[in-house]
Amino acid sequence: MLPQLPVLAMDLVDTTLVWLLLWAGIVWLRSNPARVALIGLAMLGVVYLVARQLGLVLMTWILQGFFAVSVLVAVVVFHTLTGALLPIGVFPIVMALSATIFFEPDWPRRFIGSPSPTEEASPPVSTPLDLWQKLGFALLGAHFVFQLAFPWRQLAYPGNVCWTEQGFRFSWHVMLMEKTGQVDFRVVDEPSGKRWVVYPRERLSPIQHRMMSTQPDMILSFAHHLHDEWKAKGYPDVAVYADAWASLNGRRRQRLIDPAVDLAREEEGWANKTWIVPLEDTAEARRE
């Protein structure tokens, strides 16, 4: 514990440190290489700890606000760049908004200008739970049990979950894979012998095509869509085959879907999708 200084000396040190902070900010704005910025932040951290130990109220208050705003800006910038560079949906927005949990508890009231309640809260009175309260706690417990257990369903499927994506969603797999792919479809009408080749890139937006070409369930859904489209054209029993190739985390490209399987006959469900080609997880595949 550092010794306490006299009041006059504390005020003098406090004011001097504030002026030094302003001077350092001006210098940083004129020349701010990354190394100098990191050293400056480290020094500010040390100054904050010393000021807090010495009871320098003004300096502590300024540095607390500085670090709070700096961290918030860094979080927002980081998640904004993440959302711009990676297709991860609403995750960046949710995480940026979640940073507000580190604010003071009454910040929503101060933000909207609503006065905080001043009356003292009465001490809590212990009362037995009624039937509806017990039911509410039971439902809440079941919800948390489900949230903990449901992600583990991935263990019920064979193969690499990042490749087959069976049980992938809601399974705590965030930023674990980089997957690229390409898929075309063959529509075959056996009675007439007619064949068509469908290029999804001509029918879907770029983001739709990119997402669909690497996810087996979306490939299956698009195959069913093509079957329904050809049925409306007067071909009620066409077969739909996918020529799908994909690469996982820099591995060499390989088939994702068995090209001999008629996807129009396959159904989406909880059962294992045997028409997904297993991942070739060999040393040669990983090197390429």
Domain residue ranges of the chain, discontinuous segments joined by +: 7-102, 174-287
pLDDT in tens, 19-72: 666 666 666 555 555 555 556 666 666 766 776 676 666 666 666 666 667 777
Q: What is the model's pLDDT at position 59?
A: 62
How does residue 131 score in pLDDT terms, banded at 50, 70 and 90?
confident
Encode 244-281 in three state secondary structure.
EEEEECCCCCEECECCCCCHHHCCCCCCCCCCECCCCC
* pTM tops 0.75: no
Alpha-carbon torsion (105, 108, 111, 113), positive or negative: negative
CA-derived radius of gyration, the chain? 30
How does residue 146 score in pLDDT terms, banded at 50, 70 and 90?
very high
pLDDT in tens, 213-271: 999 999 999 999 999 999 999 998 899 999 999 999 989 999 999 999 999 999 998 99
pLDDT in tens, 173-209: 877 888 999 999 999 998 888 999 999 999 999 989 9
- Tokens at 33, concatenated: 């290489």
- CA end-to-end span of the chain: 58
